[in-house]
Amino acid sequence: MTIEAARRIPVMLPALGEEEALAAADAVRSGWVAQGPRVAAFEAAFAASVGAAHGVAVSSCTTALHLALVAVGVAPGDEVIVPSLSFIATANAVRYVGARPVFADVDVATGNVTVATLDAVRTPRTRAVIVVHQGGVPAEVSALRTAADRWGVSLIEDAACAAGSMVNGGPVGAGALLAAWSFHPRKLLTTGEGGMITTDDADWAVRLRRLREHGMNVSAADRHASAQPILEAYLETGYNYRMTDIQAAIGLVQLGKLRDIVAQRRRLAARYHELLADVPGALAVRDPAHGRTNFQTFWVLLTDEFGVGRDETLAALAAAGVSARRGIMASHLEPAYADVNPAPLPVTERITRDSLVLPLHHALTEDDQDHIVGTLRGLARR
Ligand SMILES: *Cc1c(COP(=O)(O)O)cnc(C)c1O
C-alpha cells in the first residue's frame, strides 16, 4: 500500500466495535442463528425507538419496501409515485409487484418530494406513494400524510437513511402507515445487511411476519420452541426475507449507540457548515424547518459561483486523497428505466448532476475536514 492510499479519507465507515463482535459471537454460541429471540428483541427495541407499535425485521430495506407494497395491496396496473432522486431500490420495489413507477421531482433544499411535486404527476391510477427521507433529511410528513389521505392513496415511507432523524417534533417513523428501514453498512445503524418495516397496524404486522417467512402461519422459532408438535400451514405465497439472529444481535448493540452516532455526526456537520461558509457556490445540506437530519449523507450542491464542475471536483478531491462520491442518483436516467418517459424533473437532474457527498463518519477528524474543505476552497478560488 502506498502512503497516499494509506492516507485516503473514506466517504463512510460503519461504526462497529468489539461489542458488536462479541454480540455476534454470543449468538453463534447460543446455537440459534436463524430468525429467533434476538430478532424479536431487536424488532421491539427498534420499533419503540422510532415511536411505532410494531417492527418486522427483514433482509433489507429493498425487501421491506416490497412487502409494504404487498401489504397496501398495490397490484399490476397501479401507479406508484416515487422520487427519481433516490437509490434505485425505491423504484425497483414498485416493479416487483407489477406496478408502474411514476417519477416525481423534489425540492432543491431537502432533496425530498413535496405535496406539489406529487400532485403534479398524480393520476386516477395512483394507488400509493413512496416518500423517501433522502440521505436522512426528513420529508415534511404531516403535510404529505394529509394530502395522501385526501387523495385516497397509501403513503409508504422509505426511511432507509433516516434512523435517528426527527420530524414534526418526533422521530421519523412515528405515525407512519408503513416505514421501511435499511441496516446496510452505508447507513448509520448496520447489521451487515438487513431491514425493518415499522407500523402501528397490528393486522399488517401479522401479515408482514407471515410474508417474510414463506407465508407460514407460525414462525419456525415458535414451532421449535413448542413442546408439542405444531403443524404449520402456508396461507399465501410468501418469501424468504428473514433476518438472522446474528444480525439482530449486532443491531441491538448498534441501536444502543445510535443517539451518540447521530450527535457526533451533527457536530461534524456543524463544523463543515462553518468551514464551508467562505467557499462560494458550495451549498451544504441543512436541517429543514420541520425537523432534524441525522446527516447520514452530507451532500453539497455546487452552483455556477463555485466555478468548477462536479466531476472535476470529485477528481481533484480523489487526487488529494479524499473519497467523495457523486450526489444522490436519479433513477430515471438509468438504463433500467429507459422505457419510462417521465414528466420533466429539472430539480432532480440539477441535484444529481451538480452535487457530491463529502466524507462523514465517526473516525473523521478535524484535520480531515480542514483538508477536505481546503481542497474545495482552493478549487473555488482557482
Ligand atoms: C440504501 C437505500 C435503500 C436500499 O436499502 P437496502 O437495505 O440496501 O436494500 C432503499 N432506499 C433508499 C433511499 C436507500 O438509501
Neighbours of 41 (CB within 10 A): 15
- Residue 346: CA atoms inside 13 Å, Cβ hemisphere, count? 0
Beta-carbon contacts of 315 under 8 Å, excluding residues fewer than 6 positions away, are: none
Atom of ligand 1 at shortest range from CA of 195: 7
**What is the reported pLDDT for 1?**
41
CA angle 46, 47, 53 (to 5 degrees): 165
> Which residue, among 214, 231, 234, has the nearest Cα to 223 in the 3D structure?
231
**How far from 356 is each of 22, 285, 350, 351, 352, CA to CA, in Å?**
36, 11, 12, 9, 8
**To which residue does cell 418526533 refer?**
170
Q: Best substitution site from 90, 110, 178 to test ligand 1's pocket, by max atoms within 8 Å of Cβ?
A: 90
Quote the strand ranges of the chain, DSSP E: 54-58, 79-83, 100-104, 126-132, 154-158, 166-167, 170-171, 178-182, 195-199, 282-284, 291-292, 298-302, 325-326, 355-358
Gap from CA of 65 to ligand 1 centroid (Å): 9
Ligand 1 midpoint to CA 134 (Å): 10
Please give the pLDDT value at position 6. Answer: 57
Q: Residue 2, exposed/middle/buried by CB under 10 A (0-12, 13-18, 19+)? A: exposed
C-alpha 229 to ligand 1 mean position (Å) = 39
pLDDT value at residue 138: 98
Secondary structure, 3-state, 91-115? HHHHHHCCCEEEEECCCCCCCCCCH
Q: What is the pLDDT of residue 2?
A: 47
| Amino acid 224: pLDDT | 84
Which atom of ligand 1 has the smallest separation from the CA of 63?
A: 9
> 3-class SS at 348?
helix
The DSSP secondary structure of 189-239, one letter per residue, reads S--SS-EEEEES-HHHHHHHHHHHBTTBSS-HHHHHH-SS-----B-S---
- Per domain, the residue ranges of the chain are 18-256, 257-380
Q: What are phi and psi of 253, to 5 degrees?
A: -65, -45
The catalytically annotated residue of 187, 210, 257, 265 is 187
Q: Is 187 a catalytic residue?
A: yes
Tell me, using a 6 A CB cutoff, whether residue 160 lines ligand 1.
yes
Tens digit of each residue's pLDDT (9 = 90 or more) over 45-82: 999 999 999 999 999 999 999 999 999 999 999 999 99
What does the pLDDT read at residue 229?
87
Q: Can you give the length of the chain in residues? A: 382
Which residue ranges of the chain lie beneath pLDDT 50? 1-3
Tell me the three state secondary structure of residue 86.
coil
Pocket perturbation via mutation, ligand 1, pick of 46, 61, 165, 293 by most ligand atoms within 8 A of CB: 61
Which of these, 322, 330, 326, 329, lies nearest to 361 by C-alpha position?
A: 322
Domain 18-256, CATH number (from 3.40.640.10, 1.10.3680.10, 3.30.420.40, 3.40.50.20): 3.40.640.10
Report the DSSP pairing between strands 355-358 and 325-326.
antiparallel
Testing ligand 1's pocket by substitution, the residue of 66, 182, 197 carrying the most ligand atoms inside 8 A of its CB is 182
Superfamily of domain 257-380: Aspartate Aminotransferase, domain 1 (3.90.1150.10)
CA atoms within 13 A on the CB side of 240: 4
Give the model confidence (pLDDT) of 219-251 as tens digits: 888 888 888 888 889 999 999 999 999 999 999
Residue 75 DSSP symbol: -
182 lines ligand 1 (CB under 6 A): yes
DSSP state at residue 310 = H
Q: For the segment 152-184, what is each residue's pLDDT rounded down to a tens digit?
A: 999 999 999 999 999 999 999 999 999 999 999
In eight-state DSSP terms, residue 146 is: H
Ligand 1 atom at minimum distance from 187 CA: 1
H helix intervals, 277-365: 310-319, 346-354
58 CA → ligand 1 middle, Å: 13
Q: Whose CA is nearest to atom 2 of ligand 1?
A: 160
